[in-house]
Amino acid sequence: MTATTPAPTPPEPQEPARSPHDQKGSYVHEGKSFQRDMRYIPDRITRDGRDGWPVEAGRYRLIAARACPWANRTLISRRLLGLEEAISLGMPGPTHDRRSWTFDLDPDGRDPVLGYERLQEAYFARYPDYPRGITVPAVVDVPTRKVVTNDFQQITLDFATEFAPLHREGAPDLYPEAQRAEIDELNRWMLHRVNNGVYKAGFAGTQDAYETAYAELWEALDVLETRLADRRYLMGPSITEADVRLFPTLVRFDPVYFSHFKTNRQPLFTMPNLWAYTRDLFQTPGFGDTIDFQQIKEHYYVVQTDINPTRVVPAGPDLERFLEPHDRDLLPSDTWGPGGSAPLSPLAAEVVDPAHTPLHVTGR
């Protein structure tokens, strides 16, 4: 797709156009349950380029804030598959206003590749009147500086499949064909009950809506606790796309969701299998080394002022817990799958601030 191609029509908006906060910056609407706008830009980057976006090394830039769990999935997938050199990375800061995520961590507050101060500019470059939330993750076409897609559900699947020619040697098969139907079913269930379930509880505008979401979330977590009793990962002995999607929610549970979203039946660290599973993945290259706990906490506690009007960021929890032994390797294990291997250390420019994580990773 060239710069002279006419701007396509954006996906049809729905009312209200909120993802997830409204134009006044509110997340909670009194008297209403939380409904996430799941309409995203549907374009895909594929090997055959059927949507106008062919897979090309160096052409695309992933914009993914460390604070956001949906974006965190793409950071993990990119690391595990070794796509760091093929897909560059822009990282907004943890806080944003009602307009857009901003590149306030970069020199002069501008993304060094795109030259933008706000992610909003990439959306408007393609859709001048883009009607909904400016969300991360987003993939931007570097030559035109236009957003390609923000469909977080599809981005990691395409990283695992369409970008296969650019994978590192020893990259795991995160979306094995023989398990795709089961992975898809599990992912749909986790999306509504767990990944978005914490938001349904946290952004509920009525007691009934909150209690319904709370009950569904904990019912789902109990199911996952049982599922992980005799298997190391969600699909068995090897890591898959399902683990990439569940981990960002679990790693945020005790630092944020337990208190901030009132999902407080019990801390995750009191659930033997889920907590050991979370520690296991946190200590696995490609997972924990993408986690910046300070940015995560600042995002929720500073941005979501209708839940936390004081913007006070809690000091806890004790992050060293994430490094405790987990013994998950006693279960049948083939972490990286046949012929697979662990990813290299993060690029030096992408290492998490050591003050924000219990891990101390040296970049390449």
Can you tell me the distance from the alpha carbon of 264 to that of 217, in angstroms, rounded to the nearest whole number? 11
Q: What positions carry a catalytic annotation?
A: 68, 199
Length of the chain, in residues: 364
CA angle 247, 287, 92 (to 5 degrees): 90
Q: Answer whether 144's CB lies under 8 Å from 1's CB.
A: yes
Q: Tokens 């944020």 identify what position? A: 256
Can you tell me the distance from the alpha carbon of 140 to that of 30, in angstroms, rounded to the nearest whole number? 36
Work out whether strand 138-141 and strand 60-63 pair parallel, antiparallel, or are unpaired: antiparallel
Q: Answer whether 352's CB lies under 8 Å from 287's CB.
A: no
Work out whether strand 60-63 and strand 88-90 pair parallel, antiparallel, or are unpaired: parallel
The token pair that represents 37 in the structure block: 């706008």
CA angle 148, 19, 307 (to 5 degrees): 140
Longest dimension (CA), the chain: 57
Contacts of 63 (CB under 8 A, 6+ apart): 71, 89, 90, 91, 92, 101, 111, 119, 122, 136, 137, 138, 139, 140
- Residue 301: DSSP 8-state: I
Closest CA to 290 of 49, 75, 132, 134: 75
Three-state DSSP class for residue 291: coil
